[in-house]
Amino acid sequence: MSQGFLPVPVTWADDEEHRRLIANAVNSLRDGKINATGTVTLATSATSTVVTETRCGGDSIILLMPTTLNAAGALSTTFVSTVGKQTFTITHVSNSQNDRIFRYTIFG
């Protein structure tokens, strides 16, 4: 179906092409391709990790999913503590593990 989620311009010279772009964007959204995901590795020997993310705003909701065994082990003590314009902070326990890798999704 669609090859990914691409920005759709508000106006386009070719109406038929514009409708095709809009349909592809809607189909991508329907298929769960919201283009609001990323990956973060928790900082070692620190109690927080700051993520710079241009799609993030003060009202955004950030969902975390561990992708490694050490990230899964850290999940119960890991949370998003602050969310702001183009940044969010993850608070976590400090340790030397360098593979606490999470995927995240941003809503809003």
Q: What is the pLDDT of residue 6?
A: 64
**Total structural domains in the chain?**
2
Predicted TM-score (pTM) of this structure: 0.80
Residue 4, domain extent: 1-35
Are 63 and 97 found together in one domain?
yes
State both tokens at 2.
């669609």
What mean pLDDT, rounded, does the chain reach?
91
Beta bridge partners of 49: 90
Are 29 and 41 found together in one domain?
no
3-state class of 4 per DSSP?
Answer: coil
Q: What is the pLDDT of residues 18-59, one digit of tens each?
A: 999 888 888 888 887 788 999 999 999 999 999 999 999 999
Are 69 and 25 found together in one domain?
no
Q: Is the pLDDT of residue 61 over 50?
A: yes
